[in-house]
Amino acid sequence: MIKTENLTKIFRTDEVETTALNQVTFDVKQGEFVAIMGPSGCGKST
């Protein structure tokens, strides 16, 4: 099983703060498949 609770990821530069994930909670049970989907350039692999 993979589990995360209240995961937050913020990218910061000198001028900009961008919240990529805000208190995300999920779990993936054994045998389940998960796909991360979105348009090109939206940060899926980040």
pTM of the entire predicted model? 0.64
**Residue 17 pairs with which residues in a beta bridge?**
12
- CA separation for the pair 35, 37 (Å, rounded): 6
> Structurally, how many domains does the chain consist of?
1
- Residue pLDDT, tens place only, 1-46: 999 999 999 999 999 999 989 999 999 999 999 999 999 988 788 6
Give the structural domain span for 5.
1-39
Report if residue 46 sits inside a domain.
Answer: no
- Does residue 44 lie in a domain region? no
Domain membership flag for residue 3: yes
Structural domain contains residue 45: no
